[in-house]
């Protein structure tokens, strides 16, 4: 019987380190959107709300793919990764 093990913290940091550009871009876009809403709160708020919705959909797709692309997780763990 094989038990799924949780990834080591160093492995997780190594994976994040390989994709730091995406995370940096995500953070910069979020920061710029926040500054735009504070500077011009009228129509910008609607635009940022739509962009935030798109951002959530894209993030959800990536989480879904990441949960089912992992080979060392059980089915229940994969479902929990998608739901949470």
Task: For residue 42, report the phi and psi dihedrals to the nearest 5 degrees.
Answer: -65, -100
Name the stretches of the chain with pLDDT < 70: 1-10, 12-13, 16, 84
Contact 37, 44 (CB under 8 A): yes
Q: What length does the chain have?
A: 84
Listed in sequence order, the residues at least 6 apart from 76 whose beta carbon sits closer than 8 Å to its beta carbon are none
pLDDT at site 12: 66
**DSSP annotation of 34:** H
CB 69 within 8 A of CB 15: no
pLDDT computed for residue 2 by the predictor? 53
Q: Against a cut of 0.85, is the pTM above it?
A: no
Please tell me the predicted confidence (pLDDT) of residue 1.
46
Q: How does pLDDT run across 33-53, given as a tens digit for each residue?
A: 888 888 888 888 888 888 889
């Amino acid at each position: 019987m094989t038990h799924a093990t949780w990834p080591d913290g160093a492995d997780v940091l190594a994976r994040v380190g390989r994709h730091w550009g995406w995370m940096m871009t995500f953070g910069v876009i979020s920061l710029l959107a926040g500054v735009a809403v504070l500077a011009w709160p009228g129509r910008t708020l609607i635009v940022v709300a739509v962009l935030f919705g798109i951002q959530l959909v894209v993030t959800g797709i990536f989480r879904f793919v990441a949960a089912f692309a992992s080979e060392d997780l059980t089915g229940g763990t994969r479902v929990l990764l998608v739901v949470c």
